[in-house]
Amino acid sequence: MKHRNWLPLTLLLATAQPALGATKESQLPDKEMLQMMEFLREMEMVKQMEMMRDLDHVESVGEQVKNSVPPNPSPVKRKETAK
């Protein structure tokens, strides 16, 4: 399963638990929930870092292509000769 598929599932589970335990006055997040939240933050950070690397790669490839393509020569204009 891909990373983006885990996020909605985890958020759904995270929001369902407090709804089921609404009878308690205040419920502190347990250790497992805190670990899962930290894991999700790390996954989001990794995803953003990968996206930045991909952007850098695309920009460098774009620069290489731009520099490797020779500029189009201007069309040569021929003088018309009078007959």
For 49-73, b where at least 16 C-beta lie within 10 A, e where not — what string? eeeeeeeeeeeeeeeeeeeeeeeee
pLDDT at 55: 93
- Predicted pLDDT of residue 66: 79
Q: Write the pLDDT tens digit of every residue in 12-41.
A: 777 766 555 555 556 777 999 999 999 999
pLDDT at residue 46, rounded to an integer: 94
The predicted-structure confidence for 49-80, as pLDDT tens digits, reads as follows: 999 999 999 998 888 887 776 666 666 667 77
Check: CB of residue 10 under 8 Å from CB of residue 40. yes
What pLDDT score was predicted for residue 71? 62
Separation CA 80–CA 36 (nearest Å)? 79
